[in-house]
């Protein structure tokens, strides 16, 4: 097996972490670690409830394919600035309820294809400024109700094609200014009822073709180019008119 566990450029003492190469599990309470598992597959960073992945600045969670960060409830991935969750394909962040991905500024959630951020209810992706959710194709942000994507300014949700933001009800996408939701083809923002996309100024939902914003009831769309407020009809797909032209067309209505 090939991996490295270092702190400040020096190999970490084995007294400061627990690792089992047979079950491929790792745990440590140290700050400032660099975990390089980029040549490994199917490792699990697994904890029970009420646990915390708590690191200082410039830490990296770096894995190969088929790895899992699996936790129980009330767990936290809590990092300072300039940290990276960097995985290859088929990786999963799988948590129970009341969990938090909380980072400082300039942090990155970067994955390849077929990765999943899967959480229970009341979970939060909370970041500072200039953070990025950067994925390739066929990735999923899959949450239950009352979850929040809460970022500050200049943050980016950048995905490849066939990706899905799939949430339960009462969820919020809340950002600061100059943030971007940028996707390729056939992507979906799918939410339950009473969900909110709440952004500051100069924010962009930038998608390619065949993308869908699909919501439940009690959802509202606000157009900034003409300051138009649209209450989206239930079980209906609409297409907005062009730049600075009020109104919309109904393209699909469920029976």
What is the structure's pLDDT at 254? 60
Quick one: which of 86, 98, 149, 93 has its CA closest to 122?
A: 98
Predicted local confidence at residue 94, as pLDDT: 92
Kindly state whether residues 22 and 121 are assigned to the same domain: yes
Question: Same domain, yes or no, for 154 and 238?
Answer: no
Instruction: Measure Cα distances from 217 to 3, 169, 170, 198 in Å.
Output: 49, 10, 11, 17
**Are 197 and 230 members of one domain?**
no
Q: Are 219 and 195 spatial neighbours (Cβ–Cβ below 8 Å)? A: yes
| One domain, residues 159 and 232 | no
pLDDT on residue 180: 93
The pLDDT value recorded for residue 105 is 93
| Same domain flag for 188 and 226 | no
Q: Please check whether residues 210 and 238 belong to one and the same domain.
A: no
Same domain, 75 and 189: yes
- Domain membership of residue 227 as a residue range: 221-255
Total domain count, the chain = 2
In a shared domain, residues 164 and 249: no
Q: Are residues 29 and 139 in the same domain?
A: yes
Question: Residue 8 corresponds to which tokens in the numbers above?
Answer: 């400040």
Mean pLDDT in each 10-residue stretch from start to end of the chain (255 residues)? 88 95 89 84 85 80 88 89 90 92 93 94 95 95 95 94 93 92 91 88 85 80 79 79 85 66
Both tokens of residue 107?
Answer: 């942090």
- The CA distance from 233 to 255, in Å, is 13
Same domain for 32 and 146?
Answer: yes
Instruction: Please indicate, yes or no, whether residues 204 and 226 belong to a single structural domain of this protein.
Output: no
What is residue 255's predicted lDDT score, i.e. its pLDDT?
59
Which string of b and e fits 135-164 if b means at least 16 CB within 10 Å? bbbbbbbbbbbbbbbbbbbbbbbbbbbbbb
CA distances for 202 relative to 177, 178, 197, 225, 230, angstroms: 6, 5, 14, 11, 19
Q: Based on the domain organization, do 239 and 191 belong to the same domain?
A: no
């Amino acid at each position: 097996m090939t991996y490295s566990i270092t702190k400040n450029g020096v190999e970490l003492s084995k007294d400061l972490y627990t690792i089992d190469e047979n079950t491929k599990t790792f745990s440590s309470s140290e700050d400032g670690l660099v975990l390089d598992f980029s040549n490994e597959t199917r490792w699990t960073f697994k904890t029970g409830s009420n646990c915390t992945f708590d690191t200082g600045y410039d830490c990296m969670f770096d894995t190969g394919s088929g790895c899992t960060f699996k936790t129980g409830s009330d767990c936290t991935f809590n990092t300072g600035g300039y940290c990276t969750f960097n995985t290859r394909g088929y990786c999963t962040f799988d948590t129970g309820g009341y969990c938090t991905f909380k980072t400082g500024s300039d942090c990155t959630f970067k994955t390849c294809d077929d990765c999943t951020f899967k959480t229970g209810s009341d979970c939060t992706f909370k970041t500072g400024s200039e953070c990025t959710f950067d994925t390739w194709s066929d990735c999923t942000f899959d949450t239950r109700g009352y979850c929040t994507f809460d970022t500050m300014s200049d943050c980016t949700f950048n995905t490849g094609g066939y990706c899905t933001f799939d949430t339960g009800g009462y969820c919020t996408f809340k950002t600061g200014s100059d943030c971007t939701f940028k996707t390729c083809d056939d992507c979906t923002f799918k939410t339950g009822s009473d969900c909110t996309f709440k952004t500051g100024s100069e924010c962009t939902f930038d998608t390619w073709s065949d993308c869908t914003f699909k919501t439940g009831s009690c959802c509202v769309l606000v157009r900034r180019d003409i300051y138009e407020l649209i209450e989206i009809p239930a079980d209906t797909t609409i297409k907005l008119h062009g730049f600075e032209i009020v109104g919309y067309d109904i393209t699909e209505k469920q029976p």
